[in-house]
Structure 1
Amino acid sequence: MNAGILFAIIIFYFLLLLTVAWKTGKNSNNESFFIGNRNSNWMLVAFGMIGTSLSGVTFVSVPGAVGKDAFGYMQVVLGYMIGYLLIAYVLLPLYYRLQLTSIYGYLKTRMGNLSYKTGAWFFIISRLVGATARLYLVVHILQITILDSFGVPFWVSTLIILVMIILYTFEGGVKTIVWTDTLQTTCMLLGLVICTVYLLQHMHMGVGESLDAMREKGLSRIFNTDVSSSGYFIKQILAGMFITLSMTGIDQEMMQKSISVTNLKDSRKNMVSLAFIMVVVIGLFLYLGGLLHLYAGQENLTARGDALFPDVAIHHMPAYISIIFIVALISALFPSADGAMTALTSSFCIDIAGLQRRTDMAEPEKKKFRQKVHLLVALSFLILVMVFYWINDNSMIGIILKLAGYTYGPLLGLFAFGIFTKRRPDDRLVPIVCFIAPVICFLIDYYQAALFGDFKIGLELILINAALTFIGLLIISKPVADLSQLEQDSVH
């Protein structure tokens, strides 16, 4: 497929996003940027959150990992579904009751100012690392398929894409992203379906026949029953549940969209719908992965892992499929990157800088401050994408989930402690506990062979991290007589 044509398609797609941003960003202010004026349609938010939750990593890495792990990722997805339901019925009522703009405001109410700042910083680090890892994967694919032929260096490619994202999120923020994510999720899912149908037709297979072929090659196995394995199904389901609670339920990016919905009832509909839709959509990605590996076997292709889907789509499919793949890929890229940049800007402005409480700044000054932070966040993205470029790992989904165990674990422990106990920790010691817990987890992970023998710890590292944080908070805490009064004081 001609690289110039693919590049032209990317430019056209970006202009379409700019048009949507211009329409939705009119007369926007900081309230629009942070929470969309609490006027978002729950159906649009639910549909758009599919794209944000999946990202380019799911689009490329999940199908590519089928060759190694078969359909084992579905174990994690079942945990995701449980996690979404817990968010809908435990966390969302809390956020709406406290009328939060930043969900980390709950930590200030419940534990104190240092706990609040600690939670916000852990979110910033977690989302910054996770979002840039996702961004790296997609930029890398665009680089080798299109931009290398123009002689564009990788760092320039990354900078151009970040500038594109800045341009359409600079004014509207969440108000714009709710609509752009809906457009992008539509394109991504159409790409998934069209590529799946093409492969079935090309290999002259029906769905049942293809599943039989996958079963024969061991590609369709879901449940791992080896207790010692890091992929044991109970470990994976628990890990999926806690990853969702962490990377969605206590993640400002994801909750920023959910609390932008007008009321709790509609926001809960959004989350419950997402729980079931994600199982179906990721099931389709795994099925596509099985088809790609069957195709690779027929054609004797050597590409594996993250490289498999791009190689098949660009070099072994008709031109129109290559175009659909590129559009779907960039549609998977933008929702994860634009939402992360917006959420990081919001969290820094609200939680770290206390922008909403500043009485010494007029509204235009606050807007300029927020825009400067947005540009600094984009610069941080550029630096971290280059770090991942130098690391150059073959499967980014494994890296992202591993990193989540370290960075989201303390956040999960903080929220769990606040919700399930009637104790208040010594606010001064909370940052120390939240720092020590991931350090201990790193040592456990590094020396696990010596500590546990054949028993392997995998994604459930996030649960261990959260538990260590929870125990540390118990040690430094004392009972509180009336927690409800703390919440009432914070609202008023």
Structure 2
Amino acid sequence: MNATVILLIIASYFGVLLLISHFVSKNSSDDSFYTGDRKSPWQVVAFGMIGAVLSGVTFVSIPGMVGTNYFYYLQFVFGNVVGYVFITYVLVPIYYNLKLVSIYTYLESRFGFRAYKTGSLFFLISQSFGAALRLLLAAKILQYAVFDAFHVPFFLTVIVILVLIWLYTHKSGIKTIVWTDTLQTFFLLMAVLVTIYVVKNSLELSFSETITSVIKNNYFKVFNWDVHSGNNFFKQFISGVLIAIAMVGLDQNMMQKTLTCKNKKEAQQNILTFSLILAVTQFLFLGLGVMLYMYAEKFGIQLEIENGKFINTDTLFPMLSLNHFGTLASISFILGITAASFSSADSALTALTTSFTHDFLDVQHKNPKEKKKLKNRVLFGFSVVIFAIIMLFSQSKGNVISTIFKVAGYTYGPLLGLYMFGIFTKIKIKDTAIPYICIIMPIVTYFLNDYFISYLNFDFGFMNIFVNALLTVLCLILFKDNRRINANNIKLP
């Protein structure tokens, strides 16, 4: 497809986002950027969160990873659903009972000042890297599809994307994002459905034949019982539960949207609805992955192979969509990847800004003029941080989604350990020890996993988050101060 046409499509899409931002930001209060005035319809929040969770990484990585990991990712998705039930009935009530804006404020009421700051800092690190890696992949695709034709350097492409995001989020933040994410989720889902339809027709299959072909394909292997494999069912399922809790329930980015709902009941409805739609959507992406490899095989398209395995699988979906599937599929793919790019990055920047201004700058006690100034400076600062991380990893290749989940195991593990210990025990911990525990345990987990792989041929896989959280809990017990907390301070569900 002509690069100029693609650029016009992206510009039109961005124009719609600006229009939504204009209408939503009317009558906004000082706290609209952070809380959305707690008036968001839960149905809108649930649908919009799909786009934020999937992101551009999921959009292209899940279909591509089928070639090396079959349908094993579905085991992880099953675990996610259980994790979302925990978030619904345990975490959401706690957040609403305490009327939190930054969810890490809970750690201060449960453990103390240092635990609170440590939890927030770990989120800032996790979210900065996660958001940057997600945006990196999408920026590479847009560079290939559009900006290379105009000889625009990659760093300038990234800057343009970040500036566009700033333009429609800086006024009302999460209040705007709740609505723009809904539009972005629609385009993301439309892209996968259109691609499935186009590939189905190219393979000359009916819908029933397509389903049968996917299920009978060699790639349709859902369960892995090899205890040594990182794709083992129990490792994938348990890590799916824990990563869902950590990357959604303990993530300011995801929970900030949920906390814009009118009350606890609607927030719970939001999470349950979101989890079901997300599971179905991820299954569709996996099914699409099988169809993409079927298409490549039928039409003799050469894919990159090294040592008998596919490599750079993240390029499969964009390469076929832009070069082989025709105009309709190309347009839907560009809209889908653009939507995924903006949806994940805009909410991440808003969450980072919220967490830093509330947890480290005490913005809630500033006057309106100071609030606005601090918010804009922090939003700009995190945009620069994400830009720097993107440029640092700009030459990386391979399956980005697996990298994100492995990194999450190390960065979210201590958070998971802190929250589980805080919720399910009443033991008081020496607050001064918590920062050291949270820094040391991820390092121990990394070397422990390396030892198990080298000497026992056993890979933790995504289960590194479980090991990390468990080690954190064990260390917390060692530093208890033999006093029980006042149960009246924390309102458990």
**Distance of 1:176 and 1:120 partners within structure 2:** 24
Letter paired with 2:284 = L
Matched, 1:315 2:323: yes
Task: Quote the residue 2:471 is aligned against.
Answer: 468
Task: Quote the residue 2:461 is aligned against.
Answer: 458
Task: Quote the residue 1:436 is aligned against.
Answer: 440
Matched, 1:142 2:142: yes
TM-score, normalising length: structure 1: 0.96
Aligned residues: 484
Matched, 1:250 2:258: no
Letter paired with 2:467 = I
Tell me by how many angstroms 1:120 deviates.
Answer: 0.2
**Distance of 2:79 and 2:432 partners within structure 1:** 34
**Distance of 2:200 and 2:335 partners within structure 1:** 21
- Write the mapping of 1:37-116 to structure 2, written as runs, cut at 5 A: 37-116=37-116
Tell me by how many angstroms 1:482 deviates.
Answer: 4.6
Any idea what SS the aligned residue of 1:148 has? helix
Any idea what SS the aligned residue of 1:478 has? strand
Matched, 1:282 2:285: no
Contact 1:235-1:459 at 8 Å conserved across structures: yes
Letter paired with 1:197 = Y
Matched, 1:221 2:214: no
Structure 1: runs of 5+ lacking an equivalent: none
Tell me by how many angstroms 1:479 deviates.
Answer: 4.2
Task: Quote the residue 1:415 is aligned against.
Answer: 419
Any idea what SS the aligned residue of 1:389 has? coil
Tell me by how many angstroms 1:362 deviates.
Answer: 2.0
Structure 2: runs of 5+ lacking an equivalent: 304-311
**Distance of 1:33 and 1:487 partners within structure 2:** 27
TM-score, normalising length: structure 2: 0.96
Letter paired with 1:316 = H
Matched, 1:380 2:385: yes
Any idea what SS the aligned residue of 2:130 has? helix
- 1:455-491 deviation per Cα after TM superposition (whole angstroms, max 9, x unaligned): 2210000010111111111111134445333237xx9
Task: Quote the residue 1:31 is aligned against.
Answer: 31
Task: Quote the residue 1:195 is aligned against.
Answer: 195
- Write the mapping of 1:165-244 to structure 2, written as runs, cut at 5 A: 165-244=165-244
- 1:162-202 deviation per Cα after TM superposition (whole angstroms, max 9, x unaligned): 00000000001010000000000011111111110111111
Letter paired with 1:373 = V
Tell me by how many angstroms 1:100 deviates.
Answer: 0.6
**Distance of 1:288 and 1:68 partners within structure 2:** 15
Tell me by how many angstroms 1:82 deviates.
Answer: 0.4
**Distance of 2:33 and 2:281 partners within structure 1:** 29
Any idea what SS the aligned residue of 2:490 has? helix
Any idea what SS the aligned residue of 2:428 has? strand
Any idea what SS the aligned residue of 1:397 has? helix
Tell me by how many angstroms 1:46 deviates.
Answer: 0.3
Letter paired with 1:18 = L
Matched, 1:118 2:118: yes
Task: Quote the residue 2:375 is aligned against.
Answer: 370
Out of 391, 395, 398, the residue aligned to residue 394 of structure 1 is: 398
Task: Quote the residue 1:154 is aligned against.
Answer: 154
Matched, 1:351 2:355: no
Letter paired with 1:429 = A
1:113 to 1:3, Cα distance in 2 relative to 1, 3 A: same
Contact 1:29-1:367 at 8 Å conserved across structures: no
**Distance of 1:22 and 1:275 partners within structure 2:** 30
Any idea what SS the aligned residue of 1:447 has? helix
Letter paired with 1:199 = V
**Distance of 1:482 and 1:67 partners within structure 2:** 51
Tell me by how many angstroms 1:241 deviates.
Answer: 0.6
**Distance of 1:374 and 1:245 partners within structure 2:** 26
**Distance of 1:442 and 1:353 partners within structure 2:** 32
